[in-house]
Amino acid sequence: MMLLRIAFLSLWQHRRRTGVLGIAIGFVTALVIVLLGVAEGMNQALIESSTTLMSGHVNVAGFFKVTAGQAAPVVTKADGVAEVVRKEVPELKYIARRGRGFAKVVSDSGSQLLGLAGVVIEDEKGLREVLKIKEGSLDGLKKPGSVVLFEDQAAVLEVRVGDAVTISAPTTRGTNNTVDVTVVAIARSMGMMSSFSCFLNETTLEQLYQLAPGTTGALQVYLPTADLEVAKKVQARLKDALSKAGYLLLEDDPRAFFFKFESVQREGWTGQKLDLTTWHDEVSFVAWTVDLMNALAFLLGFVLLQVIGVGIMIVMWISIRERTKEIGTLRAIGMQKLSVLSMFLAEGFLLGLLSTTAGAVVGVVVGQVLNAARIPLPQGVQFVLLSDRLIVLPTAQWVLATLVFITAVVTIISLLPSWLAARLKPVTAMQHAS
């Protein structure tokens, strides 16, 4: 405590110099926290959009092969599989049946290749909470021959609610088929994830792919939490239960289902095999962007700290030169080198701690202000940040990690001038003072 008190008094004595360094360190801290908040916002948007558009927290999907070289992403006799899921997962919130497909959507003015999600809208409890409808109503999906598009898709196709479009796709037996559908709603874009997905009445999807009743693309299992570790435990539990119930399972492959076609088609089996994935598996092809943003935040902070570090060392060296008499006196009355080193290190530590704490507060406040402003993002930026607006969520974990990291870096930067101060000989220091 005595060392910290001496360090505080020394910083206060040179408060103009301390203030300049403190502002610089605080700025870096606030910047890193905002960037990490953007990364966490991306992560939350990724979870929200993925578990709305293409995945449950856990998915029981699979492939059916009519012949060894022809696979379709369907689950036959889905009701029996759902019974096993309900029995094995008592914490289950609900199960949503989702047809899966990929087709060409054609309007009078254009065309676009889109992923198809066949839904029973009455069972989609979470869909209404997350999708923001710009025009029309989700209730329109109750009728066969209906489709819900996102606003960027509607812009490409130049359609509005009530317009008709044609969907064309190859069936599971390799023949082409088409269906005419009506746009019943247009939803606001949700970033990159919504750019390649649209919702279709499940009966219409079955008609398009000529699927038998009781067949679906996946059973999306929704849990009380989106925590990945919880999802993995449920996934493992379901694998054991389904295997014991006599269902054949694919080997673990933590990728989205559309990346698995090639490997499945090379395998020699026919019939049905189930495939269990988590939400993170289904969006692994974009999840790297969140990790990249986290790495970028720390890298930028580290580079800026190197620049500030030069200033810290210069200022501390000036402080040592100004306090040579003090150091000589302390050494003459018996203070050891380690104590002198600790005294100057305490200054660096205290400067870092106070500055990063102030910067952390500023970073959190800036994040809250940016969230409240609900800043819309250009479409190109939406692809990167996975959302239609800027979301900044600086979590307590990231704030603490940033505070510890930057304080540690500032303290380490203080090590060299502190070591030089500790090496001063008492006689030399006293002569210099005179």
How confident is the model over 301-321, as pLDDT tens digits? 777 777 777 777 777 677 666
Q: Phi and psi dihedrals of 186, rounded to 5?
A: -125, 120
Q: Of 192-201, 311-320, 392-401, which gets the smallest average pLDDT?
A: 311-320
Are 240 and 124 part of one and the same domain?
yes
pLDDT digits (tens, 9 = 90+) for 162-186: 999 999 988 766 678 899 999 999 9
Are 278 and 329 part of one and the same domain?
no
Query: At 433, is the pLDDT very low, low, confident or very high (cuts 50, 70, 90)?
Result: very low
Are 311 and 256 part of one and the same domain?
no
What's the rounded mean pLDDT across residues 80-93?
Answer: 92
Number of domain units in the chain: 2
- Which regions of 50-174 does DSSP assign to beta strands (E)? 58-67, 70-72, 94-106, 111-119, 133-136, 146-150, 164-170
Distance of alpha carbon 351 from alpha carbon 355, whole angstroms? 6
pLDDT digits (tens, 9 = 90+) for 249-263: 998 888 888 888 888
What's the rounded mean pLDDT across residues 115-121?
Answer: 89
Instruction: Check residue 434 and give its pLDDT.
Output: 45
Are 88 and 169 part of one and the same domain?
yes
What's the rounded mean pLDDT across residues 348-374?
Answer: 89
Q: Phi and psi dihedrals of 174, rounded to 5?
A: 95, 0
Distance of alpha carbon 283 from alpha carbon 286, whole angstroms? 6
Instruction: Check residue 41 and give its pLDDT.
Output: 83
Of 253, 282, 311, the one marking the end of a domain is: 282
Instruction: Check residue 383 and give its pLDDT.
Output: 63
Looking up tokens 């305490």 gives 346
Q: What's the residue count for the chain? A: 434
The CA-to-CA distance between both ends of the chain, in Å, stands at 31
Distance of alpha carbon 151 from alpha carbon 264, whole angstroms? 34
Contact 221, 234 (CB under 8 A): yes
Are 88 and 127 part of one and the same domain?
yes
Q: Within a 10 A sphere around the Cβ of 268, how many other Cβ atoms?
A: 7
Distance of alpha carbon 318 from alpha carbon 213, whole angstroms? 81
Of 282, 312, 338, the one marking the end of a domain is: 282
pLDDT digits (tens, 9 = 90+) for 401-432: 889 888 888 888 777 776 766 666 655 555 55
Instruction: Check residue 325 and give its pLDDT.
Output: 62
Are 38 and 181 part of one and the same domain?
no
Are 365 and 257 part of one and the same domain?
no
Instruction: Check residue 174 and give its pLDDT.
Output: 67
Are 340 and 388 part of one and the same domain?
yes
DSSP 255: S
What's the rounded mean pLDDT across residues 39-43?
Answer: 81
In this prediction the pTM is: 0.72
Contact 41, 387 (CB under 8 A): yes
Check whether 57 has a pLDDT greater than 60: yes
What's the rounded mean pLDDT across residues 156-160?
Answer: 92
Are 245 and 295 part of one and the same domain?
no
pLDDT digits (tens, 9 = 90+) for 265-298: 888 888 899 999 998 888 877 767 677 777 877 7
Domain extent, residue 366, equals 2-48+286-433
Contact 282, 54 (CB under 8 A): yes
Are 328 and 254 part of one and the same domain?
no
Are 228 and 141 part of one and the same domain?
yes
Check whether 234 has a pLDDT greater than 90: yes
Task: For residue 30, give Cα distances in angstroms to 176, 221, 223, 313, 413.
Answer: 56, 39, 35, 22, 20
Instruction: Check residue 20 and give its pLDDT.
Output: 80
Instruction: Check residue 233 and give its pLDDT.
Output: 93
Query: At 148, is the pLDDT very low, low, confident or very high (cuts 50, 70, 90)?
Result: very high
Instruction: Check residue 301 and give its pLDDT.
Output: 73
Work out whether strand 164-170 and strand 176-187 pair parallel, antiparallel, or are unpaired: antiparallel
Give the percent of the chain with pLDDT over 70: 85
Instruction: Check residue 425 and give its pLDDT.
Output: 64
371: β partners: none
Q: Kindly state the helix (H) or strand (E) to which residue 31 belongs, with its residue range.
A: helix 15-53
Of 230, 248, 282, the one marking the end of a domain is: 282
Are 292 and 278 part of one and the same domain?
no
